[in-house]
Amino acid sequence: MKLSKEAREVLDAAKRHNRVSPEEDRDIEEVVALLPDDRSMLYKNVDSNPIGDFYRYSIHIRIQHLLIFSTFLLLAFTGLPIHYNMAFWAQPFNSVLGGLEVTRVIHRTLAVTMIFAMVYHVLTIGIGTLVRLRARTFEFGRTILPRLRDISDFKEDMLFFSGKRSLRPEMDKFMYKQKIHYFAAAFGNTVMVVSGSTFLFPDFWASVLPVEMASYFQEMMRLSHPHEALLALLVVAFWHWYNVHLAPGRFPMQWTYLTGKITREHQIEEHFLEYLRCIVAMPDERRYLTNLINGKKLRGARPNDRDEARPAYMGEPQGGLQAEMPD
Amino acid sequence: MKTRLKPWQQTLAFGSLAFVLGWTVFGLYAIWLMLTQG
């Protein structure tokens, strides 16, 4: 495989960070040369353990996800009978918990736990970044921060899904979809915390805002809190859960949130640049790839882009699908 | 080729799936509440 400019930069950086010896360097380059240009041949043929093959998330990130999702679900579950406290089921629900005031206390306690998880998250990524900067192993491309490249990745992926391109783009540890989702969640959480705090501390907000704005702000936050909650519920139910439970390759569940690991198939398909780092850091993976490519004769498999000139050996299909069609 | 899940792993994975699908019903109910009661 001839690496793209971006992939070559990632590979070279990974070699520097792992301080590879000249022998390892030769080994890595030999394996990379073996990789088929048609990456789909690779991820369709590799062995994958649904529980996970490669390390992706630290225990801190997994704890934060656990805290965020459990508090999020319980906040929605207790927030609804607070907002719609006249609904036929809300009164018995609140009574079981000890009354509306108790439901409110539970809701606020959960909110504090969620804020703790957010602070924990900011500290984790902040300290992690500082450690990497100090060790000179920080790579902007590996972070979840948006880049211009995400726009071209999105465009190329849409071309792939509409059948106009045969390969998905080479994406890094976080792809465009995950970045949108992450910042949408960060924005949503911020709106919920700020709007929720205006219910708890109206005097504080009235004292820091200009007099003419204070009551409008309070009204706006009163509207924002339930609507943002509903938006978050929709995004989680119809977007996030589709991607981690129902999407082809993830069904019935993606295990990353529990094990912190991603499958080999998923890593190659959607995070190929991160997979290159695995090739550099893991000699076992290089041996596995060499055996797989030689064993299944994947070397030389080329993409069949409709928008690119077809190589001579890939002329019109002879036999193949046509031969299998019934008369 | 994918490694097959062990029975307990299948239970956990499908249990989690059932939970989120059930929760989606709750989400739909919340939408209905918001549309009808503001």
ipTM: 0.81
pLDDT at B31: 81
- Residues A263-287 have a mean pLDDT of 97
Is a pLDDT exceeding 80 seen at residue A110?
yes
Say how far apart CA B2 and CA B9 lie, in whole Å. Answer: 14
Q: Provide the token pair at A128.
A: 């992690």
Say how far apart CA A57 and CA A78 lie, in whole Å. Answer: 30
Q: Provide the token pair at A19.
A: 């301080």
pLDDT at A85: 87
pLDDT at A304: 65
pLDDT at B38: 65
Share of chain A above pLDDT 90, in %: 81
Is a pLDDT exceeding 60 seen at residue A326?
no
pLDDT digits (tens, 9 = 90+) for A231-244: 898 888 888 999 99
**Half-sphere exposure of A289 toward its Cβ, with a 13 Å CA cutoff?**
28
pLDDT at B30: 81
pLDDT at A309: 41
Residues of B with Cβ-Cβ distance to A241 under 8 angstroms:
20, 24
Asked whether the beta carbons of B17 and A255 are under 8 A apart, the reply is no
pLDDT digits (tens, 9 = 90+) for A244-256: 999 988 999 999 9
Is a pLDDT exceeding 50 seen at residue A21?
yes
Q: Closest residue of A to B2, CA-based?
A: A48
Is a pLDDT exceeding 50 seen at residue A93?
yes
- Residues A300-326 have a mean pLDDT of 46
**CA-based nearest residue to A141, from A97, A180, A93, A176:** A176
* Distance from the Cα of residue A229 to its chain's centroid: 21
Cα→Cα distances A309→A303, A305, A312, A314, Å = 11, 8, 9, 10
- Residues A66-77 have a mean pLDDT of 94
Residues of A with Cβ-Cβ distance to B12 under 8 angstroms:
253
pLDDT at A163: 93
pTM of the model: 0.86
pLDDT at B36: 82
The B residues from 5 to 34 touching A (CB cutoff 8 Å) are: 5, 9-10, 12-14, 16-17, 20, 23-24, 26-27, 30-31, 33-34
Give A169: exposed, middle or buried? Use CB within 10 Å, 0-12, 13-18, 19+: buried
Residues of B with Cβ-Cβ distance to A74 under 8 angstroms:
none
pLDDT digits (tens, 9 = 90+) for A217-228: 999 999 999 999
Cα→Cα distances B12→A41, A94, A257, A258, B16, Å = 31, 31, 13, 11, 6
Is a pLDDT exceeding 90 seen at residue B24?
no
Q: Provide the token pair at A198.
A: 């205006």
Residues of A with CB under 8 A from a CB of B: 47-51, 73, 76-77, 80, 84, 87, 226-227, 230, 233-234, 236-238, 241, 245-246, 251-253, 255, 263, 265
Mean pLDDT, all residues of chain A: 90
pLDDT at B32: 84
Say how far apart CA A106 and CA A112 lie, in whole Å. Answer: 10
Number of A–B residue contacts, CB under 8 Å: 62
- Residues A137-147 have a mean pLDDT of 96
pLDDT at A311: 43
Share of chain A above pLDDT 70, in %: 93
Is a pLDDT exceeding 70 seen at residue A260?
yes
- Of residues A140 and A301, the one with the higher pLDDT is A140
Is a pLDDT exceeding 70 seen at residue A41?
yes
